[in-house]
Structure 1
Amino acid sequence: MDRTGPADVQRWVRGWRLLVLDAGMLVYPALTLAEVVQQARGGAAVAGCAVVAAFAGGYVLAARAAARRAARRFWVLVGGCAVLFAAALPFAHADAFFLAAVVVSLAAPRLPRFAVPLVVVAAVAAVVVPWAFWRAEPGWTQAVALVFTVLVVYAFAEAIRANAALVEARAEVARLASEAERTRIARDLHDLLGHSLTAITVKSTLARRLATVDGARAGDEMAAVETLARQTLTDVRAAVSGYREVTLAGELARGRELLRACGVAADLPTATDVVDPARQELFGWVVREGLTNVARHAGATRCAVTVSGSEISVVDDGGPVGLDSGWGSGSGAVPDSEAGLGLGSESGVAPGSGLAGLRERVTAAGGRLEAGPVHPRGWRLRVTL
């Protein structure tokens, strides 16, 4: 996984690449200084050299301000460099436009709307001004150097912007991936624990009731509770590591045992060959969520699961009408039938919260989930792909 961050971009921006570019730009004041020494004499030479030296110092400070993103100081220094370029014209004539190349290279990337006019005006001035004022050779070399220098600096600035945008995009992708993984783990833990803890609670309650009546059967139920607890621990570890497998056949087998412990007559299919292997896991989640909610909320006496190649439904006869049965409403209320089994506070999962996770799974698979009452009595959960 790429761990590049904003700090890495800043190191890239302020590192050796920028240092090389900044140092390379000092070649232009050096060329101008050589022309001043060659053309001027006496006090004029000293004044010209002082102007060029001041320009070089101003450029270094401007580049430093740019690296530190001190915009106000940067523009003040760029303005000072522009003034010093104008002051160097009488001493260096056409070669003074090497200094103009530095000034325009600093300003153009930060003024994208005015970059082209600025470069054109500076290049034309490099050709025309020396001939018009001093009858010297037009500054063709200086004009070409100005244009290509600005292009190089502009390309470098765009590379910096692109790298910064790329790092921000990668950080956003990493954040979204982390958020999706947390959502997956939360959803899987709810689906796994909601079913398993409900089964454990139901079997523990049944074993407690049988303890004084049928000790052998109570022992069997507690052994089943131990097995469920171990399986739940394994499932939780698998869910966290991302290697959990849910199958339709497995969930039907577990669901049949859960409904038996709840005293609910189960009408569940014994064969799952009709379902495409690619849909087996999703249909397994539907069975798990549906039967867990029947056990926790419905107070039903019968429950039926029907499966076809593209549809699965879980129907129970709990509650006076399906809407009052409690599960799937998301209200958080615990029906009386559930309170009698002691499931209200021990299961630890709010009613309806599992349907949201199941709906996400179904939607991701391109299907449709429907949950609602059936008349005259009961509730139906149906998923169609």
Structure 2
Amino acid sequence: MAPAPSETPGRVGFRAGWVFAAIWLFYLGENLNALLRHPAGMWRDVGLVALALFAVTYVLLVSIMRKPRSDGGYPPSELRIWLGLLVLLALALLQLPAAGQHILTCTVYIAASAVMGLPLRSGLAVAVTIAVAVEVAIRVVPEWRTTSQGYALAVVLAAAATWGMRLAFERQGRLIQAQNELAELAVADERSRIAGDLHDILGHSLTVVAVKAELAQRLLDVDLDRARAELRDLESLARDALADVRATALNMRGISLPGEIAAAKAALAAADVKAELPGAADDVPTRYRELFAWTIREAVTNIVRHSRARHAEVRLCPDSVEIVDDGQGCTSTAGGGQGLAGLRRRADELGARLIAGQRGDRPGFRVRVEVPS
């Protein structure tokens, strides 16, 4: 006869909790039989009405306990529950003249409702108080001593069962809340990953587009054919960047190390930076090729965009990739810009080490990624 659990934060309730509560009302059949056996009169009529109102109030009280409490606390719902418990107690007492000791059945419903709806300490205190009061009443009223044994134990057992149900539902509620939080974190991480990928893609592509556009503008009055070639490259770069963005949004995008080496050659040449690049990438393990490709892309983008370098070199080994230049470096990137932050995230995922900062042997900037050998 325990009520359905309330749907508070951290607690899971039945969608049809009132049906679950109404099922337990069949125990009130003892009260109904006692009232019907009582001689007709005022107290019998009062008892029948009180019994019907008791059942309705109990179901309504369960419905109140099922309502979500947005603030996570008990007020004002706790006040409603206290009022509901007092109404149940009053309706039980109104049955006393005609139903006699059978009203003790109602105390089981009251105790279970208190344990489920009130704060745990208050609910247990109410249940204990009711159990003690029932035991005292049985001992005080002589007619009840032989026919009412076990009601106090029934109150205790109902309170204990309800307490167990409440704890189980609270644990389940906390588990669901934790799962929702993990899902939200996963969504946030995925958004961050996509944002980082889009930054890397557009940052590189738009930088090259800007450099080639400037070069084409300078060539318009000098070499028209070469300017047209640069404009054709701009169109191709724009289409490739658009395709990369679409593929990234669909989580289908991957980059190749040879492709990034070729793209770095074109970007550095367009920026009038003399470059030394590896001719092949066959010695790099497949697992690290994508990381090395992102490293080259990010470093070359920063060289073209920020460094004002005249010379750059890409050094590629099976367990490391290093890009150095002779420019002035980039304070924003060295301080942990968005590009390096995304690159560091990728390196951490593979247990690699990222080193970025000013060169120690000569002026310039260095980006190096080392993987476990």
TM-score, structure 2 length as denominator?
0.81
The 3 A distance-change label for structure 1 pair 40 and 55 is farther
Deviation at 1:135, TM superposition (A): 4.0
Asked whether the 8 Å contact 1:276–1:309 carries over to 2, the reply is yes
Q: CA 1:131 to 1:328, structure 2 compared with 1: closer, same or farther past 3 Å?
A: closer
Structure 1 residue 203 displacement after superposition: 1.9
Q: CA deviation at 1:297?
A: 1.2
Give the corresponding residue for 1:112.
120
Give distance in 2, aligned partners of 1:60 and 1:286.
Answer: 65
Looking at structure 1, the residues matched to 43 and 363 of structure 2 have their Cα atoms a distance apart, in angstroms, of 106
Residue type matched to 1:55 in 2? F
The CA distance in 2 between the partners of 1:326 and 1:153, in whole Å, is 63
Tell me which amino acid in the other structure corresponds to 1:328: T
- Residue 298 of structure 2 aligns with an amino acid whose one-letter code is E
Spell out the pairing of 1:200-349 with structure 2 (5 A cutoff): 200-319=209-328, 322=329, 326=331, 328-329=333-334
Q: Which residue of 1 aligns with 2:344?
A: 359
For residues 267-296 of structure 1, the C-alpha deviation after alignment (integer angstroms, 9 at most, x for no partner) is: 122222332211111111100000111111
The amino acid that maps onto 1:285 is: W
Displacement after TM superposition at 1:142 (Å)? 3.9
Aligned to 1:180: 189
Cα distance in 2 for residues equivalent to 1:296 and 1:48? 88
Deviations 1:206-263 (A, max 9, x none): 2222233333333322222222121111111111111111122211111011112222
List runs of 5+ in structure 1 lacking aligned partners: 1-6, 331-350
The answer on whether the counterparts of 2:324 and 2:365 sit within 8 Å (CA) in structure 1 is: yes
Please state how far the C-alpha of 1:360 moved relative to its aligned partner. 2.1
Alignment CA distance shift 1:50-1:245 (3 Å)? closer
2:358 corresponding residue in structure 1: 373
Q: Call closer, same or farther: CA 1:282–1:132 in 2, change over 3 Å.
A: same
Equivalent residues of 1:29, 1:55 under 8 A apart: no
Instruction: Please list, as runs of the form range in 1=range in 2, the aligned pairs for 1:23-102 lying within 5 A after superposition.
Output: 23-38=22-37, 42-68=41-67, 70-86=77-93, 88-89=95-96, 91-102=98-109
The secondary structure found in structure 2 opposite 1:306 is strand
Give the Å deviation of 1:153: 4.1
Please name the residue that 2:72 is paired with. none
Would you say how many aligned residue pairs link Structure 1 and Structure 2?
352
Structure-1 separation of matches of 2:134 and 2:182: 48
1:200–1:224 distance in 2 versus 1, CA, 3 Å:
same
1:130 to 109, 114, 138: 138
The alignment's TM-score, normalised by the length of structure 1, stands at 0.79
**Aligned CA distance change for structure 1 residues 204 and 51 (closer, same or farther; 3 Å):** closer
Secondary structure of 1:26's aligned partner: helix
Partner SS for 1:328: helix
Once structures 1 and 2 are overlaid, which stretch shifts more, 41-50 or 168-177? 41-50
8 Å contact from structure 1 (residues 313, 383) kept in 2: yes
What is the Cα-based RMSD across aligned positions, in Å?
A: 3.2
Aligned partner letter, 1:230: R
Cα distance, 1:181 vs structure 2: 2.4
Take 1:270 and 1:47, find their aligned partners in 2: how far apart are those partners? 99
Identity %: 34
Kindly indicate whether the alpha-carbon contact (under 8 Å) linking 2:324 and 2:367 is maintained by their aligned counterparts in 1: yes
Assess if the C-alpha contact under 8 Å between 1:28 and 1:102 holds in 2.
no
Q: Which amino acid aligns with 1:106?
A: S
Three-state SS of the structure 2 residue aligned to 1:380 is strand
Corresponding residue for residue 15 of structure 1: 15
What amino acid is the match of 1:303? A
Report the more deviating stretch, 205-214 or 274-283: 205-214
Q: How does 1:140-219 map to 2 (within 5 A)?
A: 140=149, 142-143=151-152, 145-147=154-156, 149-151=158-160, 153-154=162-163, 156-158=165-167, 160-162=169-171, 164-219=173-228
Alignment match, 2:4: none
Deviation at 1:59, TM superposition (A): 2.4
**1:123-162 C-alpha deviation (Å, 9 max, x unpaired):** 5665664354224425345456545544554455445545
Distance change >3 Å, CA 272–CA 81, structure 1 → 2? same
CA distance in 1, matches of 2:258, 2:103: 85
Give the SS at the match of 2:312: strand
In 1, distance between residues paired with 2:299 and 2:307? 10
Contact 2:46–2:95 (Cα < 8 Å) also in 1: no
Report the AA paired with residue 15 of structure 2: G
Maintained 8 Å contact 1:268/1:305: yes
- Structure-2 separation of matches of 1:384 and 1:217: 40
- Unmatched segments (≥5 aa) in structure 2: 1-6, 70-76
